[in-house]
Amino acid sequence: MIERPNLARRPFVDSRPVWVVGAVFGAVALVLTAINLAEFISAQGAERTLEAEKQALETRYAELQGSVRAADGRLSEVKWRQLEAEAGTLQEVVARRRVAWSRLLVDLERIVPWDVRLVSVVPMVDDKGAVQVDLTGVATGRDAWLQLLARCFVDQNFSDPVPASEEAPSASNTLGYRFQLRVRYWPEGRP
């Protein structure tokens, strides 16, 4: 075999693999750049949307602050003491309306002995809804008056009877044994 002489100044180097790897890296770089560009554009759009929502919320917040200031102004003009007094009066009227007179009178008729006559029945309702009844009456004797008192202790619709006054028959009081009694009334029965 005859050897051929090498006339090149430098030895032959195969650079094709380097070019192929460089081209692949370049293609990958272009693809990644395109993906980053798409993500950037998408993020810009989302940022603009969020900025518009933020502006709308700030506008709404300013409107709400204005309406709160206006409401505070209107509330500062309210006469609270007068309103509270009116509300208390209204609550008292409503509480009195809840007392069923017919039911109260039926319950009183059940406990009042035959020889006791009631002259005055005055129900009073407190702010918690409790009903106190002031009874003024005349009995034929002290036994009838004490029987009424005992029935108030026993009955399920009445409790805590407290005698306010009693007056025996005399020259000035010829009607009979007069009495005043305060008793608590439970329309639905004692709890």
* pLDDT, tens digit (0-9, with 9 covering 90-100), for 52-66: 999 999 999 999 999
In terms of domains, do 115 and 181 share one?
Answer: yes
At residue 106's C-alpha, the angle toward residues 101 and 112, to 5°, is 120
Instruction: State the number of CA atoms in the 13 A half-sphere of 125 facing the CB.
Output: 19
Residue 162 lies in a domain: yes
One domain, residues 139 and 68: no
pTM above 0.85, yes or no: no
What gap in Å lies between CA 14 and CA 6, rounded to an integer?
Answer: 16
Do 68 and 129 share a domain, yes or no?
A: no
Is 190 domain-assigned?
no
The more confident residue out of 12 and 150 is 150
87 domain-assigned: no
Q: CA-to-CA distance for 16 and 51, rounded, in angstroms?
A: 52
At 5, phi and psi to the nearest 5?
-80, 145
For range 68-86, the mean pLDDT: 83
Q: Do 126 and 62 reside in the same domain of the chain?
A: no
Q: What CATH number should be reported for the domain holding residue 159?
A: 3.30.70.2830
Separation between Cα atoms, residue 178 and residue 191, nearest integer Å: 31
Q: Do residues 105 and 147 share a domain?
A: yes
| Residue in this structure with the two tokens 């439970």, named with its chain if needed | 186
HSE (side-chain half, CA atoms, 13 Å) at 119: 11
Tell whether 105 is covered by a domain.
yes
Query: Which residues span the domain enclosing 107?
Result: 100-185
Helix (H) or strand (E) holding 163: strand 158-167
Q: Which two tokens stand for residue 5?
A: 């002489």
What are 4-43's pLDDT values in tens digits? 776 766 666 678 888 899 999 999 999 999 999 999 999 9
DSSP code at position 171: S
Q: Is residue 37 part of a domain?
A: yes
Residue 139 lies in a domain: yes
The verdict on 109 and 47 lying in the same domain is: no
